[in-house]
Chains A and B, each alone.
Chain A
Amino acid sequence: MDYSTLRRQITFMKKSFFDQGYLDEQFNQLEELQDESSPNFVEEVVALFLKDSPRLLTNIEHTIGKYPQDFHRLDSLVHQLKGSGSSIGAVRMKNECSVFKAHCNDKNLEGCRRSLQRMKREHATLKQKLESYFQLLRQVAPREHAVNSRK
């Protein structure tokens, strides 16, 4: 695939993430921070999120299964997930975390369970989309660096 086609694909992919509500402005803000000294900043931050979030999801699932129910702990765990999700602009994840939190507040375990399932699906989709995005970016990266160094 040639450079300009790749570039178009990247732009289109990113636009679809925004249009479909997977990512918000925070993601753009992070991309704007990238420069020669930290060219892969967003990919690194997303990698941290994708490393950390499965652990949180597992802990949430484990805590839901415990008896007696520990809604305080559930709230604390989902608070962390919501925080890191919103820091990378993962708006769907953030919103689902808010739904989960509301169920926690109502001590609605079944609501929490259903919300967790949605969260896991959102997470899997987001992971797949972002990984594809960065894979494409890596393909144009050597060319970008060459272009920048000529400036």
Chain B
Amino acid sequence: MMSCKGLGGEGSAAAAAALPHVLAVDDSSVDRAVISGILRSSKFRVTAVDSGKRALELLGSVCVIFLNLNLLLPFRLCASVLHVLPITFVLGLQEANVSMIITDYWMPEMTGYELLKKVKESSKLKGIPVVIMSSENVPTRITRCMEEGAEDFLLKPVQPSDVSRLCNRVLR
């Protein structure tokens, strides 16, 4: 999912970074596949995760790569890699750069609403539009999400037309 590209990869990294990157969050493998398919057919880059916890890890994943690299390499090699790392790091950041989050409401452990709150409470992440999906049309739930700063609320099953309309408004 995350990778540090070498310096030579600047061209392709820049091109890839130009496509909006959407983070999809859903505990259902079927729904992840459907939302990913819908987003990809609209030419978005998609990363799909199965929980709010993983979503937050990805959104704050800059530090994770740094640490992993240190664990993998012996110390001397590490020191020389660290010179190169800040530059590759910037490219890595561009790839992780999430333009929109689309999340299911009902998930075990952390609901989409709780994820929305955490995103909006974070100074780093609060600018990212968050869309909630739910199979249940509960007006109080919808109101609560919109009041917490959700960009939109989609009823499941999510249809390609819903998503392209939404993305065109939010991302282009």
Q: Using a CB–CB distance below 8 Å, which chain A residues touch chain B?
A: 26, 29-30, 32-33, 35, 37-38, 41, 44-45, 48-49, 51-52, 79-80, 82-84, 86-89
B37 within 8 A of partner (CB): yes
Known contacts A29-B159, A32-B160, A83 near B37 by CB under 8 Å: no
Query: Chain A contacts of B54 at CB under 8 A?
Result: none
Query: Chain A contacts of B158 at CB under 8 A?
Result: 87
Which residue in B31, B38, B40, B41 is a CB contact (below 8 Å) of A84?
B31
CB of B156 within 8 A of CB of A86, answer yes
Known contacts A83-B28, A83-B135, A38 near B40 by CB under 8 Å: yes
Known: A48-B29, A83-B156, A89-B157. 13 other contacts (CB 8 A): A26-B159, A38-B41, A41-B37, A45-B34, A45-B37, A48-B33, A49-B30, A79-B135, A82-B135, A83-B28, A83-B30, A86-B157, A87-B31
Which residue among B28, B30, B37, B106 has the maximum number of chain A CB atoms within 10 Å of its CB? B30
Which residue in A35, A51, A89 is a CB contact (below 8 Å) of B41?
A35
Q: Using a CB–CB distance below 8 Å, which chain B residues touch chain A?
A: 28-31, 33-34, 37-38, 40-41, 106, 135, 156-161
Mostly helix, strand, loop or mixed at chain B's interface?
A: helix
Known contacts A33-B38, A45-B37, A82-B135, A26 near B29 by CB under 8 Å: no
22 contacts between A and B (CB under 8 A): A33-B37, A33-B41, A33-B160, A38-B37, A38-B40, A44-B33, A45-B33, A45-B34, A48-B29, A49-B30, A51-B29, A52-B28, A82-B135, A83-B28, A84-B31, A87-B28, A87-B30, A87-B31, A87-B157, A88-B30, A88-B34, A89-B157
CB of A87 within 8 A of CB of B37, answer no
Query: Chain A contacts of B40 at CB under 8 A?
Result: 37-38
What's the Cα separation between A87 and B155 when bound, in Å? 11
Query: Chain A contacts of B41 at CB under 8 A?
Result: 33, 35, 38
Query: Chain A contacts of B38 at CB under 8 A?
Result: 33
Known contacts A38-B37, A83-B135, A86-B135, A45 near B30 by CB under 8 Å: yes
Query: Chain B contacts of A49 at CB under 8 A?
Result: 30
CB of A52 within 8 A of CB of B29, answer yes
The 7 A-B pairs with the shortest beta carbon distances in the complex, nearest first, are: A84-B30, A33-B41, A87-B157, A86-B157, A45-B33, A48-B30, A49-B30
